[in-house]
Each structure stands twice: as structure tokens, then as C-alpha cells.
Chains A and B, each alone.
Chain A
Amino acid sequence: MSRSVSSIIPLRNTQTALDTTQMSRQERENTPIDLNLLALSVTKGGLSTMTGNEGNLRPITWLLLSGILPPTPSSWSASVSKMNSDYWGWVDELLESEEWWDEETWVEDGCFDSNRGDFGDDVSKSSSTAPASTSPSSSPPSPPSPLPPPPPSKTPLPPSSMLRAPTTPSQCLATEIHKDVLRTHPTISFFITPPSSRWRLSSLMRVLFVWAKLNGGVKYVQGMNEIAGVVAFVLGREDNWIQEVTSGSPLPPPPPSRLSSSHHVSPITESLTYYLTSHLLNLHLDLFTPSLDNAFTGLSSSIEKVTDGLERHDPIVYRHLEALNIEGAFYLMRWVTTLLSREFNMPDTVRIWDVFFTNNQITPYVCVAMVCLVRDEILTKDFGGCLELLQNYPMSVDVEQVVAGAKGLWVLERRVTECRDKTGWGVRECLAAVGEVKGVVMGYGWRGGIPDGDLGETIKLVGGQIKLGAREVAKDMGSVARSVGRGLLSWGKNVAKNMEESMDKASEIRKEKDRERNARMVMERMREERRRAEFERERREGFLEQQKEFMETELKNNVEGTDGGKGGRQEGGAKEKLDTETNDTIGHNPFK
């Protein structure tokens, strides 16, 4: 991810550009760009170099950050192709249906060049035939109206289609836009150097006209031309970045329209200029809608957001301007509705816009920072001096200071708010706790957002607060701990009791088991003894059997021989001996 981003976005100190070979092209194209990382790099000034290849990254970056290009490069081509054909479809539909519209009109030399040094208009609207019939009838006969002589050759007139006074709403709209397109960024050669200026202004004209027609509720409001102008400048200044978003594949040609053959702005540049302009206008739509002036996002509220911020961060300057009766609207109406595109030179405007694309809520902070940066001058000036300063913002102010100041204020406000929410301390204490935030000119009434006076005292105060706070926390913690402890203790006791009971039970069981085992052992011993006794008895019986057989054999022998009496006594003696032996061993006499 990050590799992909770094391959797209040159970080300040690296020279990597789009054509980096860190990844294969295919790999790069299928990796979605991390927009957060991209925004971070842009805010830090990653695009501030506007030369060479790096300059070409801004169009793609702005289109990415505004969500017009999808984050995955491989889908750029299809998406651009669709936008291109949609835009030219609208051009075709909206312009073709207007019979009076003639592309050639807007690129006539007479329209864009000879009269540019004049009041900003209006050859297109002028008539070569004074419409005497439309003069008020109440008009007394006047000295012969100076009917226009044939125009001098140095002021060529546009084609006749544009010479009629506008009659249809579309014509009026086109005329209104035309007046301002001619007055768009007139100090930049991009818009004034022929011949390119002609087709660039013509392209701008179409972009604004199509937007106004498609947004009928708002139509065209002065200031939109300035916004579209910045977009056209950034996208059109060099358009070799187009290859990146089309992957070099040929796009379908725009639908046939009355585009002249001298149309030189790349169709894709123009359609993407439309889309990016439209994105910005839609984002700030409420600024252009009179009925929403007092709505939360309307013009008056947007102005108030700045003056409220100024009151919060630089109350001295705020009060000075208030005392001079300088209302915010006197200078902020233009700052806000043109997205600051008229207050700086073009490269600086573009740098400020980088920040807008990464944070669309930062505009009021940029405005506050701008005022704070010239505060010392403001404080020495009167009504006229202050307005002159604020309406012609000094070129000497470094745009990076403006950007840093705005970001700093944004960060400071968030940190202080967070601190207050968490601790309930005062702003002064929170500021001391938050510490220095880079770039802040004036924050909450203090230079750099750091409370002045005896800082040691402040810190001691804050320290005290912190100690106090810590003690409070500790106290709270103690009570929590106690309650937890109590809980634990009682739980522990229960556990212990349960354990005891269990142990008792276990010991009972063990005793039981011991008893059983003992009993088993006793039984075993008894069985063993019985077995042995059995064995002894059998052996004894076997012996007795033998004795008996022997004695019977003896007896038989005696009866058969002469010594019968002798044999009888011997038999009785053996019997006696046997009894004794039996009693000793078995305990009972099997002969009894």
C-alpha cells in the first residue's frame, strides 16, 4: 500500500514519481492507493513542487482525494472513459439544443482578445444595429442616436448568431457566464495568452454552462468562475498526466457536437475539469444559495464561523475590527465563496487547495490564520487601512505559514477541547497542559497558543490542578478499589469456604477410600491365609492318605504273617502322632 503511495506521491525529500520502478506496472495498478497516507503526504507539502513530473501528480491527487478517481489505478481508465462520455453527452444535449450557441463565437479573437483590456465584455452581447425600437417610447426625440458605424477592423465582431441581445434564459445565462469567464484570473498567462487562452476560456465557459444547466436551482453565481479557473489551471497546465488515467488506451471520441476544429483542450481534461469543479461546487453549494445564507452551512454562517474563530483565538484583533465597524462579510464574503482563489497568487492558491482536498472543514481555520498573520499591521490601521489590507492580502505572507497556522489551530482546538472535556479545567490550564502546537500564530488569545505572563506560575497552577486532579482520581480510585476489594474479599471468602467444604468432602472421600483399601487388604490377607490353609490341608490329607495306605499295607502284611499284635500297637502310636501334628497345623482334627 504505502509503497504504491510513495510511488505516486513524491514526498518532499524523495524524487520518486509516477514512473517509479519499485513495483511492476501491473502490480502498481492493482494496488489500491491508501488515501489517508496520500492526504497526509499532501498536507505536508508533498505536492508543493510544481515543476517537472511532480507537477503532474497534483491533478491525479486532487481527483483521488475528491473521490472522482477510484483508488485502484487499474479502474481509472474505465471510470475516466465513462465520465468523459457523460460530460460530452451533456454538452451535446445542452448546447446543441440551443440554436444560438456557436462554439466559434466563444473562440473568436474579437471576444477574447481585443476587448480583454476593456471592461471585461461584451462584444458578444453588443449589437451592430442599435435597437431603436426597444428604446423607451417615453423618450423624447433625441439627437440622432449615434448609430454604430461599421466596426473598425481592429475590433472584429463575433458571428451574427451572438449579436442579438440574449432573449432565452439559456442565452442570458451564457452571457452572464461569459462576462465572468473573461474576467477569470486575468493575470495568469494560462488564461490570457493567445491562442491557448481562447480555447481555455471557451472550455471554462462550457464547464460552467453545463453545471449551471444541470443545477438549475443554483445556476451560475459569481465566484464559481474563479473556482473552475483554478481547477482548469491545475488540470490543464500540463496534461501529460492524462496518460496515467487512461493507461494510454484510446478513449472513445467525444460525441459529435459543434466543437470547432480549433478545439485544443483535451476532451478528457475538460470533462475532468467539469467533474472536479462540480465536486467543489457541490461541496459548497449552500454558499451559492441565497435562501440558505443563514442556514448552518450558508454564506452568513460560514462567515460567522471565521469571525467566531477570530474572536476565540485573537480577541484583540477581533475587537479592533469590531471597534472599526468592519464586519466579517466585508472581506470574508469573497474569501469564502471563492475558496480563497483570489487572495493569493496561483501557486499559493493551489497549495492552500491541497489542504482543502485533505480536510474540507479547514477553510475557517485558514481564514483565521490569515488574519492572525497580519495582526500587527491590522492593529495599527484604521477602517480603510484594515479593509485595504484584508481585501488585498499581502503577497509577502508565506503560504506555508498560512497552511501551518491553519493546521496548528485545528489541532490546538481539538486538543484543548478534548482536555476540557476530560478534566473540566479552564482554557489556560488546558493550554499549558497541551503544550506548544506548531504553526499557531494566535491561539485562545495567546501568541502561539501559549499563555503568557508568569509561565512558572501557570505551570505551578496547572501542576497544582494536576496534583489535585490526581488526588481526586486517587480518591476515586481508592473508593473503587475498596469496593472492588470488598467484593473480592467476600468472593474470596466464599471461595475459601467452598474450598474448605470441598476439602472436607475430599478428606471424607479419602478416608472412605482408605477404609475400603484397608478392608480390601484385610480380605486379601484372609483369602491368602485361607488359600494357604487349604493347601496345607490338602498336603496333610495327602500325607494321611499315604499313611493310611501304608498302615493298611502293614496291617495286611501282619494278618497274612504271625506278628498281628505288634502291628496293632504300631498303628495306635502312629494315630496319636498324627493328631498332634494336625492340631498344630490346622487347628482341627479331621478325624474327630
Chain B
Amino acid sequence: MAAKEGKDYDMHIKLLMLGDTGVGKTCLLLRYAYDSFSPTFITTIGIDFKIKHVELDGLHVKLQIWDTAGQERFRTITVSYFKGAHGVALVYDVTDRDTFEAIRHWVKQIQEHAESNVSIVLIGNKCDKEQLRMVSRAEGEELAREINAPFFETSAKTNINVEDAFNKMAVMTKNSMMLQESTSRPSDGSLMVDDPNVRLTGSGKGGCC
């Protein structure tokens, strides 16, 4: 079964959504995965998953996106899933200063628990609520430079920049993985996703590109 599954994509990427509770991680994901925005949103408890298949530079990429609960309480359990993630979307809410301040804390968590070569994208969500903004775009850009991550301001509600942000993360991750492959290092743990059967199948092609 898993072997069959291996044939319908060239590359498998594991992405992680991190950020404080209520910043709109799940909404961003729903917008990206299903292009939908549900007015009925619920609290993420533990972990949610979404799968999205995309074409990136001619490669069929399967994105496995892990949506985590924002609350501290679940972190003791969810940090163990940081391992093996290829990319992280760090999300804050532009109308909530605290969530922005917490980004540094999240970065620390990533450094502690995720792979060292993990790609990060910083996302300031809810940019449609201009009148309620508490974090300026410039502040977001500054922080992005500081942590060496591309920066996007998005709105899941009005569908601004959502696809761009995710695609950027996917492309970065893909390139980083291929670079690592092409250095002909045997694939170490960092390149393996949690599923041994769902491995990078396009590694040969990756080398060529």
C-alpha cells in the first residue's frame, strides 16, 4: 500500500505550523489546502494534519502539513514532532502584539527541537484588519531579517498571500533538501520523514536539477 503510494509523488515534505493560540494557523492551512475559509473555526487540540499535492519546478511534491495547538500545555507533547520537519511556518497575528513578541520564543523552540537545517517562513496573519493592527509591517520585516526567514503578511479571510507564503516555504524546503541530497551525503535522519515508506523518491532527479 505504502509502496503504491510512493509512486504518486516525487518528493515528500513535512511542514509545521507554529505560533500562539488564535493567530489563525488553522485558517491559513484550510485556505491553502482547500482554498476555503470557514466562519466556524475551532481550537486546535493536539495536532491536525492536512495533505496537499503541489507541482514545484516540475516535481510532484506531497506536502504533509502539521497544524499544532498554540497553547503551551500541548508543547511537551508536540515538540517531539518538530523532529523530521523540513519547514516551519511561524505565524503571528498582526492585531495582537503578544503573539508577535512570542515569535522569538518559538524560534528558540525550533532551534532546540527541530533539525538545524529546517526552513522557516515568518507570517503575519490577519492583515485585512488594518484598523486593528498592532504590529507594523516593518516590525515584521525586521524580525524576519533577524531570524533569516522570508516574510509574508497574509489574510486567510480575504486570501492575501496565503498561497505565496506556503509555496515559498515549499520551494525553500525542496531546494534545501535537494542541495543536501546533491552533496551526496547519505540521507540522514533529517531527510527522512516520519514515515519510512514515504521517502524522498525524487532524489535522483533532485541531483540532476
Q: When the two chains form their complex, are residues A186 and B73 in contact, meaning their CB atoms are under 8 A apart?
A: no
Q: Which residues of A contact B131 (CB under 8 A)?
A: 128, 148-152, 155
Q: Does A485 contact B (CB under 8 A)?
A: no
Q: When the two chains form their complex, are residues A146 and B133 in contact, meaning their CB atoms are under 8 A apart?
A: yes
Interface residues of B in 32-59 (CB under 8 A from A): 39-49, 51
Q: When the two chains form their complex, are residues A176 and B21 in contact, meaning their CB atoms are under 8 A apart?
A: yes
Q: Which residues of B contact A384 (CB under 8 A)?
A: 49, 51, 64
Q: Does B116 contact A (CB under 8 A)?
A: no
Q: Does A553 contact B (CB under 8 A)?
A: no
Say yes or no: A143-B22 contact (C-beta < 8 A), given A130-B133, A300-B77, A329-B47. Answer: no
> CA of A300 to CA of B76 in the docked complex: distance in angstroms?
10
Closest to A135 in B: B139
Our pick among B24, B45, B134 for the contact of A131 (Cβ within 8 Å) is B134
Q: When the two chains form their complex, are residues B134 and A222 in contact, meaning their CB atoms are under 8 A apart?
A: no
- Please encode chain B, from 122 to 135, with 1 for each CB lying within 8 Å of some chain A CB and 0 for all others: 00011001111110
Q: Does A543 contact B (CB under 8 A)?
A: no
Interface of B is mostly: loop
Q: When the two chains form their complex, are residues B24 and A119 in contact, meaning their CB atoms are under 8 A apart?
A: yes
Q: Does A325 contact B (CB under 8 A)?
A: yes
Q: Does B181 contact A (CB under 8 A)?
A: no
- Please encode chain B, from 107 to 131, with 1 for each CB lying within 8 Å of some chain A CB and 0 for all others: 0000000000000000001100111
Q: When the two chains form their complex, are residues B142 and A119 in contact, meaning their CB atoms are under 8 A apart?
A: no
Our pick among A116, A142, A288, A299 for the contact of B39 (Cβ within 8 Å) is A116
- Please encode chain B, from 77 to 104, with 1 for each CB lying within 8 Å of some chain A CB and 0 for all others: 1000000000000000101111000000
> CA of A136 to CA of B139 in the docked complex: distance in angstroms?
8
Our pick among A142, A288, A382, A391 for the contact of B138 (Cβ within 8 Å) is A142
Q: When the two chains form their complex, are residues A330 and B46 in contact, meaning their CB atoms are under 8 A apart?
A: yes
Interface residues of A in 113-172 (CB under 8 A from B): 116-123, 125-128, 130-131, 134-136, 138-143, 145-146, 148-152, 155, 165-166
- Please encode chain A, from 89 to 133, with 1 for each CB lying within 8 Å of some chain B CB and 0 for all others: 000000000000000000000000000111111110111101100
Q: Which residues of A contact B95 (CB under 8 A)?
A: 122, 125-126
Q: Determine which residue in A126, A131, A332, A391 has the highest number of CB atoms from chain B within 10 A of its CB, and name it.
A: A126
Q: Does B5 contact A (CB under 8 A)?
A: yes
Q: When the two chains form their complex, are residues B138 and A143 in contact, meaning their CB atoms are under 8 A apart?
A: yes
Q: When the two chains form their complex, are residues B195 and A290 in contact, meaning their CB atoms are under 8 A apart?
A: no
Q: Which residues of A contact B138 (CB under 8 A)?
A: 139-143, 145
Q: When the two chains form their complex, are residues B46 and A337 in contact, meaning their CB atoms are under 8 A apart?
A: yes
Q: Does A183 contact B (CB under 8 A)?
A: yes
Q: Does B23 contact A (CB under 8 A)?
A: yes
Q: When the two chains form their complex, are residues B22 and A120 in contact, meaning their CB atoms are under 8 A apart?
A: yes
Q: When the two chains form their complex, are residues B195 and A324 in contact, meaning their CB atoms are under 8 A apart?
A: yes
Q: When the two chains form their complex, are residues A136 and B142 in contact, meaning their CB atoms are under 8 A apart?
A: yes
Say yes or no: A221-B195 contact (C-beta < 8 A), given A119-B24, A146-B136, A388-B49. Answer: no
Q: When the two chains form their complex, are residues A180 and B133 in contact, meaning their CB atoms are under 8 A apart?
A: no
B65 to chain A, nearest CB (A): 10
> CA of A122 to CA of B42 in the docked complex: distance in angstroms?
14
Q: Which residues of B contact A305 (CB under 8 A)?
A: none
Q: Which residues of B contact A150 (CB under 8 A)?
A: 131
- Please encode chain A, from 397 to 432, with 1 for each CB lying within 8 Å of some chain B CB and 0 for all others: 000000000000000000000000000000000000
- Please encode chain A, from 212 to 237, with 1 for each CB lying within 8 Å of some chain B CB and 0 for all others: 00000000011101100000000000
> CA of A80 to CA of B108 in the docked complex: distance in angstroms?
50
Q: Does A293 contact B (CB under 8 A)?
A: yes
Say yes or no: A121-B96 contact (C-beta < 8 A), given A183-B42, A222-B43, A333-B45. Answer: yes
> CA of A113 to CA of B27 in the docked complex: distance in angstroms?
18
Q: When the two chains form their complex, are residues A126 and B134 in contact, meaning their CB atoms are under 8 A apart?
A: yes
Say yes or no: A120-B41 contact (C-beta < 8 A), given A136-B142, A288-B73, A382-B1. Answer: yes
> CA of A223 to CA of B152 in the docked complex: distance in angstroms?
30
> CA of A380 to CA of B131 in the docked complex: distance in angstroms?
49
Q: Does A179 contact B (CB under 8 A)?
A: yes
Q: Does B208 contact A (CB under 8 A)?
A: no
Q: When the two chains form their complex, are residues A118 and B157 in contact, meaning their CB atoms are under 8 A apart?
A: yes
Q: When the two chains form their complex, are residues A299 and B45 in contact, meaning their CB atoms are under 8 A apart?
A: no
Q: Does B137 contact A (CB under 8 A)?
A: yes
B128 to chain A, nearest CB (A): 9
> CA of A332 to CA of B69 in the docked complex: distance in angstroms?
14
> CA of A293 to CA of B69 in the docked complex: distance in angstroms?
16
Q: Does A323 contact B (CB under 8 A)?
A: yes
Q: When the two chains form their complex, are residues B1 and A146 in contact, meaning their CB atoms are under 8 A apart?
A: no
- Please encode chain B, from 180 to 199, with 1 for each CB lying within 8 Å of some chain A CB and 0 for all others: 00000000000000111110
- Please encode chain A, from 298 to 315, with 1 for each CB lying within 8 Å of some chain B CB and 0 for all others: 011000000000000000
Q: When the two chains form their complex, are residues A179 and B21 in contact, meaning their CB atoms are under 8 A apart?
A: yes
Q: Does A342 contact B (CB under 8 A)?
A: yes
Q: When the two chains form their complex, are residues B45 and A223 in contact, meaning their CB atoms are under 8 A apart?
A: yes
- Please encode chain B, from 59 to 77, with 1 for each CB lying within 8 Å of some chain A CB and 0 for all others: 0000010000111011011
Q: When the two chains form their complex, are residues A222 and B136 in contact, meaning their CB atoms are under 8 A apart?
A: no
Closest to A299 in B: B77
Closest to A179 in B: B22
Closest to B125 in A: A119
Q: When the two chains form their complex, are residues A138 and B47 in contact, meaning their CB atoms are under 8 A apart?
A: no
Q: When the two chains form their complex, are residues B64 and A334 in contact, meaning their CB atoms are under 8 A apart?
A: no
Q: Which residues of B contact A151 (CB under 8 A)?
A: 131-132
B148 to chain A, nearest CB (A): 16
Residues of A within 8 A of B (CB): 116-123, 125-128, 130-131, 134-136, 138-143, 145-146, 148-152, 155, 165-166, 176, 179-180, 183, 186-187, 192, 221-223, 225-226, 288, 290, 293, 299-300, 323-325, 329-330, 332-334, 337-338, 342, 380, 382-384, 387-388, 391
23 A-B pairs with CB atoms under 8 Å apart are: A116-B39, A118-B129, A119-B22, A119-B24, A120-B41, A126-B96, A145-B138, A146-B133, A148-B130, A148-B131, A165-B97, A180-B21, A183-B43, A187-B40, A222-B70, A222-B73, A323-B2, A329-B46, A330-B47, A330-B49, A383-B195, A384-B51, A388-B49
